[in-house]
Amino acid sequence: MIGIGKRALMGLAAAAMLSAPALAQAPYPTRPITMIIPFAAGGPTDTVGRLIAQTMGNELGQPVVVENVGGAGGTIGAQRVAQARPDGYTILLHHIGMATIPTLYRRVAYDPINGFETIGLVTDVPMTLVARRNFPANNLQELVQVVQRDREKLNYANAGIGAASHLCGLLFMHAINAPMTTVPYRGTGPAMNDLVAGTVDLMCDQTTSTTEQIRGNTIRAFAVTTPNRVAALPDLPTAAEAGLPGFDVSVWHGLYAPRATPRPIVDRLNRSLVAALRDETIARRFNDLGTAPVAIERATPEAHRAFWQADIAKWRPLIQAAGQFAD
């Protein structure tokens, strides 16, 4: 039997000590990352996610693969991420619903506030009030008159309780004091298909979903729901200009990782997000869809969390006053 000298043993021990940190600090990422989008493919949030996923993947050196996990107002996909391993390989792209879920859903199987690490805000998307192409109104004032007259005879499409289209419709019906019959879908894409087909009457949705349809004259648009007009739709008046002041809502999107994801991984994901937001191609594509990347100072994890918490506080009393809950 060949013995091992003391000096050799010391050398092996030293080599092991040097290799341990190297193994512990293996570069991230080493395999593809899954971006969960909690809504159907083809909808506005899906459009935003797919636009940034490819550029983020290029910067990270690994693909960012989009997976649509729709249903229950975005809570099913959010739950998937909240309960995933906090290793940076499962992330969430969600919209304003992250601020309304804590009030709309009184019982969910995850912590909707403390179950995530914020990565950064992505974009603020204006919304548009639209109808089937042959709807009997030529402007917003005429639309309001028709809705106040026909009320529940009209069908209002949305992507499910808690979706941006649901929230916008809720605010619109509250603003004009005229409830309509709501028709929930499993995503904005299917709802838009039925609006184009004339199966439903009205919808309020993000410019990322409606701009191309409005330009193509397959639906009728009445107003944009922000204080300023949208560059991609310069002829579309704001709700205030069209006679409905105070009807102001936009949809922000942000990226999240599971709670306890190590900060170095969060920071790495944030750097890839910032690279995507600075990409000229993405900026042009966002502009075509009626939106723009957020300012870089709003894309930090800290700015994202502060904005998110403030929006939770903003929506809570409105949802409670409406008395509409998802469970």
Q: pLDDT for 41-54, tens place per residue?
A: 988 889 999 999 99
Any residues with CB less than 8 A from the CB of 133 and at least 6 apart, and which? 196, 198, 217, 218, 219, 220
Dihedral sign for Cα 289, 295, 300, 306, please: negative
Determine the 3-state secondary structure of 16 from DSSP.
Answer: helix
pLDDT confidence tier of residue 113, bands split at 50, 70 and 90? very high
> What mean pLDDT do residues 147-172 have?
90
Mean pLDDT check: name the lowest of 21-25, 112-116, 161-165, 183-187: 21-25
Task: Give me the pLDDT at residue 21, please.
Answer: 43
Distance CA 116, CA 257 (A): 6
Task: Give me the pLDDT at residue 261, please.
Answer: 98
Of residues 253, 257, 303, the one with CA closest to residue 47: 253
pLDDT over 50 at 65, yes or no: yes
User: Do 163 and 74 contact (CB within 8 A), yes or no?
Assistant: yes
pLDDT over 70 at 9, yes or no: no
Q: Which residue has the tokens 């957020």?
A: 294
Distance CA 73, CA 187 (A): 9
pLDDT confidence tier of residue 5, bands split at 50, 70 and 90? low
| Token representation of residue 321 | 């006053």
User: Do 253 and 121 contact (CB within 8 A), yes or no?
Assistant: yes
pLDDT over 80 at 92, yes or no: yes
Determine the 3-state secondary structure of 189 from DSSP.
Answer: helix
Distance CA 126, CA 229 (A): 9
pLDDT tens by residue, 71-87: 888 899 999 999 999 99
> What mean pLDDT do residues 190-210 have?
94
Task: Give me the pLDDT at residue 273, please.
Answer: 98
| Token representation of residue 296 | 């870089």
Q: How far is CA 216 from the centre of its chain?
A: 25
Of residues 211, 215, 184, 223, the one with CA closest to residue 200: 184
Three state DSSP letters for 49-104: HHHHHHHHHHHHCCCEEEEECCCHHHHHHHHHHHCCCCCCCEEEEECCHHHHHHHH
> What mean pLDDT do residues 4-26 have?
49
Distance CA 302, CA 254 (A): 12
> What mean pLDDT do residues 5-17 have?
50
pLDDT over 90 at 197, yes or no: yes
> What mean pLDDT do residues 83-98 have?
97
Mean pLDDT of the chain: 90
Q: Alpha helices, DSSP H only, in 115-249?
A: 140-150, 164-176, 188-197, 207-215
